Structure 1
């Protein structure tokens, strides 16, 4: 069995807001959890994109026509 570490986050909202959401059949806890998990994923993606940008900024682009020549070479080799 896998155990995930969790933490509690408390958020204060107006009582009317909570009541309206619950009357509308909204599971407030689940919606907040899902929103925060999606937001965390976006932050993670931004970090990876930033890392990739740093890795690629010093790499020179390929010469003009490199891909055409490479594909042609592969085709002729078979």
Structure 2
């Protein structure tokens, strides 16, 4: 079972009243928006790490990579 925390925020009263009038599930909207933002940030961080790894891998000579692959295959 997940643990939950309560998060609060302030919004303009006019916006809150409109959301209520349209029967918007405010908690659900905020939850989904936060989940989406976190997902975007995680993807962004992953992309940066992959770029960094790619730059490091470019420093390894291709013949070294080929030799390592051959060595791994022989060990199977």
Taking structure 2 as the reference length, the TM-score comes to 0.69
State the aligned residue count.
Answer: 60
Q: CA offset at residue 46 of structure 1?
A: 0.7
1:1-78 to 2 correspondences below 5 Å: 3-60=1-58
Alpha-carbon displacement from aligned partner over 1:26-49 (angstroms, at most 9, x marks no partner): 111110110000000001101111
Q: CA offset at residue 25 of structure 1?
A: 2.0
In structure 2, the gaps of 5 or more residues are 63-76
Q: Select the structure that is richer in helix.
A: 2
Equivalent residue number for residue 69 of structure 1: none
Alignment RMSD (CA, Å): 1.8
Structure 1 moving runs of 4+ over 4 Å: none
Alpha-carbon displacement from aligned partner over 1:40-70 (angstroms, at most 9, x marks no partner): 000110111111011001233xx9xxxxxxx
In structure 1, the gaps of 5 or more residues are 64-78
